[in-house]
């Protein structure tokens, strides 16, 4: 009898230990560091649940393999929004009810009213906003300095080489925005042949002055070396160059194209309740604001904005004055048109 009681007690102890930990998966690097400092450590301290941090390279294949075999070892996964939508549609993720599963904002608003547009979906809740924006080297212009997206296309007033990512996404949207198309009409305009021709015609006006980049580290280097005076760039890369390397760079937030990373829960995890507890903690107003101290990505709740420390605010895409003219990348639209437009863009490049 004693041996049976010992076995039962040991099993109970193992189960308790297993339930006292969560495996949270993200992309590593600076983002994972920010999550560990702003979320994992305080969550563990408050709840007693240990967070095991793992890295992956994105996509949904590994989550699908775990769900399909019912061998789920990941409890919470950081995904890019388009992948989360795909995984949700495929039945690979748990559903999330914002007002039931997430905390209200520090402003008293329920979660469904406090998150920025696009931050909440059936199986995901966004935790960060990152963006592609125009950056320039302030030393490149002795007099007037560029302030708008249109200035990027104005090679007479602001002469010098530019740099753009070697892909149609963002470039086509920017071309239309700079040509006067309202933000809420950009994708409808790109749906038409006339709209596409208009976008490529606008890009034609600067094509001879463009150096094309393919890796995120290239734009800051091109700016620092003086090879270009302005460049499209990821805001986090420019922030690092400004703060860590003391580069004289400035971001033009006008027309920024933003996207989001989201938290998700793999379908069938035995730790669903603990995972939901983690999501509730990780997406609180104060936690999202605190995360921005470690990485220059914006919080996804309106109530987080007043809580961001003052010296970080100018560098975040979601700071209200920076966010005023932002346009979210329509990932669903690009999923439908990417192949066609990649081919057309490459043909245009070769002309």
The mean pLDDT of 124-136, rounded to a whole number, is 97
Residue 336, pLDDT above cutoff 90: no
d(CA 57, CA 109): 35
The mean pLDDT of 93-101, rounded to a whole number, is 97
Residue 154, pLDDT above cutoff 50: yes
Lookup result for tokens 């239309």: 176
- What the block records as the tokens of 215 is 């890796």
Lookup result for tokens 């070892």: 73
Residue 134, pLDDT above cutoff 90: yes
d(CA 305, CA 286): 9
277-299 pLDDT tens trace: 999 999 999 999 999 999 999 99
For 2-123+265-318, CATH gives 3.40.190.10
Lookup result for tokens 């790109």: 190
Phi-psi region of 126 (alpha: psi -120 to 50; beta: other; left: phi over 0): beta
Residue 7, pLDDT above cutoff 70: no
**Contact, 210 vs 163, CB < 8 A?**
yes
- Count Cβ atoms within 10 A of the Cβ of residue 68 and give its class: 0-12 exposed, 13-18 middle, 19 or more buried: exposed
DSSP state of 338: H
- The fold of 130-258+329-349 is D-Maltodextrin-Binding Protein; domain 2 (3.40.190)
Q: What is the CA radius of gyration of the chain?
A: 23
Residue 178, pLDDT above cutoff 80: yes
d(CA 95, CA 333): 23
Q: pLDDT-derived band of residue 332, with 50, 70 and 90 as boundaries?
A: confident
Residues of the chain with CATH 3.40.190.10: 2-123+265-318, 130-258+329-349
Can you tell me whether residue 104 is helix, strand or coil?
coil
**307 Cβ partners below 8 Å, 6+ apart?**
106, 285, 286, 289, 290
**Contact, 81 vs 331, CB < 8 A?**
yes
CA-based nearest residue to 26, from 343, 263, 349, 338: 263
Residue 25, pLDDT above cutoff 80: yes
- What the block records as the tokens of 98 is 């914002």
Phi/psi at 279 (5° precision): -60, -40
Q: Quickly list H helices, the chain.
A: 2-19, 29-35, 41-47, 61-69, 81-89, 98-101, 111-114, 149-152, 171-178, 186-190, 193-204, 218-225, 235-243, 272-282, 285-291, 320-323, 331-349
Q: State the pLDDT at residue 127.
A: 97
CA-based nearest residue to 44, from 21, 25, 13, 64: 21
Q: pLDDT-derived band of residue 22, with 50, 70 and 90 as boundaries?
A: very high
**Contact, 129 vs 318, CB < 8 A?**
yes
CA-based nearest residue to 134, from 300, 255, 228, 277: 255
Q: pLDDT-derived band of residue 121, with 50, 70 and 90 as boundaries?
A: very high
Can you tell me whether residue 138 is helix, strand or coil?
helix
SS3 for 195-252 is HHHHHHHHHHCCHHHEEEECCCCHHHHHHHHCCCCEEEEEHHHHHHHHHCCCCCEEEE
* Cα 234 to Cα 69, 173, 240, distances in angstroms: 37, 16, 10
* Cα 335 to Cα 82, 169, 192, distances in angstroms: 8, 11, 17
Q: How far apart are the first and last CA of the chain?
A: 84
Averaged pLDDT score across all residues of the chain: 93
51-88 pLDDT tens trace: 999 999 999 999 999 999 999 999 999 999 989 989 99
Q: 210-213 and 162-165 as β-strands: parallel, antiparallel, unpaired? A: parallel
d(CA 134, CA 249): 10
Residue 10, pLDDT above cutoff 70: no
């Amino acid at each position: 009898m004693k041996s049976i009681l010992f076995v039962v007690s040991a099993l109970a102890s193992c189960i308790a230990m297993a339930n006292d930990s969560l495996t949270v998966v993200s992309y590593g690097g600076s983002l994972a560091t920010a999550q560990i400092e702003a979320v994992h450590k305080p969550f563990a301290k408050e709840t007693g649940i240990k967070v095991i941090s793992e890295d992956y390279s994105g996509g949904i294949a590994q989550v699908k393999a775990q769900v399909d075999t019912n061998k789920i070892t990941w409890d919470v996964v950081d995904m890019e929004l388009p992948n989360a939508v795909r995984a949700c549609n495929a039945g690979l993720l748990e559903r999330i009810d914002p007002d039931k599963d997430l905390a209200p904002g520090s402003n008293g608003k329920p979660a469904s009213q406090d998150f920025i547009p696009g931050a909440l979906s059936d199986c995901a809740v966004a935790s960060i906003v990152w963006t592609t924006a125009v950056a320039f080297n302030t030393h490149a212009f002795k007099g007037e300095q560029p302030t708008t997206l249109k200035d990027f296309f104005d090679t007479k007033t602001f002469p010098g080489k530019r740099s753009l990512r070697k892909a149609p996404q963002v470039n086509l949207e920017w071309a239309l925005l700079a040509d006067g198309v309202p933000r809420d009409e950009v994708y409808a305009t790109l749906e038409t042949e006339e709209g596409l021709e208009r976008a490529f015609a606008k890009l034609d006006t600067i094509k001879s002055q463009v150096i094309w980049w393919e890796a995120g580290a290239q734009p800051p280097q091109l700016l620092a070396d003086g090879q270009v005076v302005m460049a499209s760039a990821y805001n986090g890369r420019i922030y690092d160059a400004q703060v860590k390397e003391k580069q004289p760079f400035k971001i033009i937030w006008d027309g920024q194209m933003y996207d989001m990373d989201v938290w998700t829960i793999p379908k069938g995890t035995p730790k669903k309740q603990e995972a939901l507890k983690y999501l509730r903690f990780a997406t609180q107003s104060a936690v999202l604001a605190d995360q921005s101290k470690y990485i220059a990505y914006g919080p996804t709740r309106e109530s987080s904005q007043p809580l961001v420390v003052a010296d970080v605010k100018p560098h975040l895409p979601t700071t209200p004055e920076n966010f005023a003219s932002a346009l979210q990348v329509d990932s669903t639209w690009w999923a439908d048109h990417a192949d066609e437009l990649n081919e057309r863009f490459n043909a245009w490049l070769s002309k």
